Amino acid sequence: MELRSGLGIEHRGFFFFTLFYATTGIANLVILGIHSLGLFHVTIVAVLSLIAAFGLYRLQSWTLWFIIGLFFIGTTYIAIMLNISIASYATNSDITTLFTTIAWTIYLILTWISVGYITAKRKILR
């Protein structure tokens, strides 16, 4: 209980999705650093994810709009990356490609679950 009160965690679901959006934002920034700073779509997803994580942590009502925007942008982004990953796995069946495909699938599923959860519990946001 002390950890929850020390971090200011009031709702576990919102805290989980705060961690999810913060992690995906940081992961997308790492992707930018590894590949190219010219990947504009990755920059958008990273920045919006970090803003959404901050808004969810603070339980701000404007966060819902960032989450909905990220749903459409993220679903398109993930669907394209998942398609590339699956096509790559079909031609090169190695373990790295398999784990990448699984990671994109988990990312897609968690994005959809987060939108459903946050819109259902939107009354909690201030």
Beta strands in the chain (DSSP E): none
Measured CA to CA, the distance from residue 113 to residue 117 in angstroms comes to 6
Residue 7 is predicted with a pLDDT of 60
CA distances from 125 to 24, 87, 89 (A): 21, 40, 41
| DSSP string for residues in 92-125 | ---HHHHHHHHHHHHHHHHHHHHHHHHHHTGGG-
Residues 6+ apart with CB under 8 A from 80: none
pLDDT per residue, tens digit, the chain (126 aa), is: 455 555 666 788 899 999 999 999 999 999 888 887 778 888 899 999 999 999 999 989 999 998 999 999 999 989 998 998 888 888 888 888 889 889 999 999 999 999 999 999 888 887
Biggest alpha carbon–alpha carbon distance for the chain: 51
pLDDT of residue 1: 47
In Å, how far are 7, 23, 35, 116, 120 from 113, measured between CA atoms? 24, 16, 29, 5, 11
Q: How many angstroms separate the CA atoms of 63 and 77, rounded?
A: 20
pLDDT at residue number 91: 85
